[in-house]
Chain A
Amino acid sequence: MPSSAPNRDDALITISGLRTVLGGKTIFDGVDLAIPRGRITAIMGPSGTGKTTLMRHVTGQLAPDAGTITVDGQDVWRLNREQLFALRERIGYLFQNSALLTDFSVFENVAFPLRQHLKLPEELVRNIVLTKLQAVGLRGAAELMPAELSGGMMRRVALARAIVRDPMLIIYDEPFVGLDPIALNQILKLIRTLNQTLGITSILVAHELAAVAQVADSIYLIAAGKIAAHGAPQELSRGESAWTKQFFAGEADGPVPFQYPAPDYATQLGLRGAAR
Chain B
Amino acid sequence: MNALRVPLSPFTGGLAQIGACGLFLLQILRAVPRSLRYFRETVRQVFFVGAMSLVIIMTCGLFVGAVLGLQLYDVLSRFGSAAMSGTVVAFALYRELGPVVTALLFAGRAGTSITAEIGLMRATDQLDAMEMMAVDPIAYVVAPRFLAGLIAMPLLACTFNAMAILGAHMVCVSWLGLDNGTFWSNMTASVDVWTDVVNGVWKSLAFGGVVTLIATFQGYTTPPTSEGVAYATTRTVVFSSIVTLALDFVMTAFLM
Q: How far apart are the CA atoms of A117 and B132 in the complex, in Å? A: 13
Q: Is the CB of A61 within 8 A of B135?
A: no
- Contact: A102 with B124, CB < 8 Å? yes
Chain A residue nearest to B135 in the complex (CB): A116
- Which residues of the partner chain B approach A9 to less than 8 Å between Cβ atoms? none
Give A53 to B125 CA distance when docked, in angstroms: 14
CB-based nearest B residue for A95: B125
Taking the complex as formed, is B180 at the interface, i.e. its CB lies under 8 A from any CB of chain A? no
Whether B250 is near chain A, meaning CB under 8 Å from some CB there, is no
Stretch at the interface among A31-39, A85-93, A198-206: A85-93
Contact B125 A97 (CB under 8 A): yes
Contact of B128 among A89, A95, A161 (CB under 8 A): A95
Give the total of A residues in contact with B, Cβ under 8 Å: 21
Asked whether, in the complex, the Cβ of B134 is within 8 Å of the Cβ of A61, the reply is: no
Cα of A91 to Cα of B126 in the assembled complex, Å:
17
Which residues of chain B from 122 to 139 have a CB within 8 Å of any chain A CB? 124-126, 128-136
Q: Please state if B134 and A89 are interface contacts (CB–CB under 8 Å).
A: yes
Is A101 part of the binding interface, using a Cβ–Cβ cutoff of 8 Å? yes
Interface contact tally, CB-CB below 8 A: 48
Contact across chains for B124 and A113 when beta carbons are under 8 A apart = no
B129 touches A116 (CB 8 A): no
Taking a contact as CB atoms under 8 Å apart, the answer to whether B126 and A61 are in contact is no
A99 x B124 contact (CB < 8 A): yes
CA distance in complex: A65, B131 (Å): 21
Asked whether, in the complex, the Cβ of A99 is within 8 Å of the Cβ of B125, the reply is yes
Contacting residues of chain B (104-135) with chain A, CB-CB under 8 angstroms: 120-121, 124-126, 128-135
Q: Is the interface of B mostly helix, strand, loop or mixed?
A: helix
Q: Taking the nearest CB of chain A, how far is it from the CB of B1, in angstroms?
A: 12
Q: Which of B17-33 contact A (CB under 8 A)?
A: none
Complex CA–CA separation, A59 to B125 (angstroms): 15
Identity of the chain B residue whose Cβ is nearest the Cβ of A86 in the assembled complex: B134
Contacts of B130 in A (CB 8 A): 101
Partner of A99, one of B128, B134, B136: B128
Bound CA span A97–B125, Å: 8
Q: Tell whether, in the assembled complex, residue B133 and residue A113 are in contact, meaning their CB atoms are under 8 Å apart.
A: yes
Chain B residues within an 8 Å CB radius of A86: 134
Contact of B131 among A88, A96, A101 (CB under 8 A): A88
CB of A112 within 8 Å of the partner chain = yes
Q: Which of B121, B131, B133, B136 contacts A112 (CB 8 A)?
A: B133
* Contact residues of A between 70 and 93, Cβ < 8 Å to B: 81, 85-86, 88-89, 91, 93
Once A99-B124, A102-B124 are accepted as A-B contacts, the answer to whether A91 and B129 lie under 8 Å apart by CB is: no
**Smallest CB-CB separation from B131: which chain A residue?**
A61
Chain B residue at minimal CB-CB distance from A116: B135
Within the complex, what minimum Cβ distance (angstroms) separates B143 from chain A?
15
Bound-state CA distance A101–B130 (Å) is 9
Closest to B37 in A: A116
Whole-angstrom distance between the alpha carbons of A161 and B134 in the complex?
A: 13
Q: Which of B120, B126, B128, B134 contacts A85 (CB 8 A)?
A: B134
8 A-B interface contacts by CB (under 8 A):
A61-B128, A85-B136, A88-B132, A95-B129, A100-B129, A102-B120, A113-B133, A161-B133
Where the two chains meet, the residues of B that have a C-beta atom closer than 8 Å to any C-beta of A are 120-121, 124-126, 128-136
Question: Considering the complex of A and B, which 7 residue pairs feature the smallest CB-CB distances, nearest first?
Answer: A99-B129, A99-B125, A85-B134, A93-B132, A88-B134, A89-B134, A113-B133
Starting from the known contacts A95-B125, A112-B133, A113-B134, 4 additional A-B residue pairs (CB-CB under 8 Å) come to: A88-B133, A116-B133, A116-B134, A161-B133
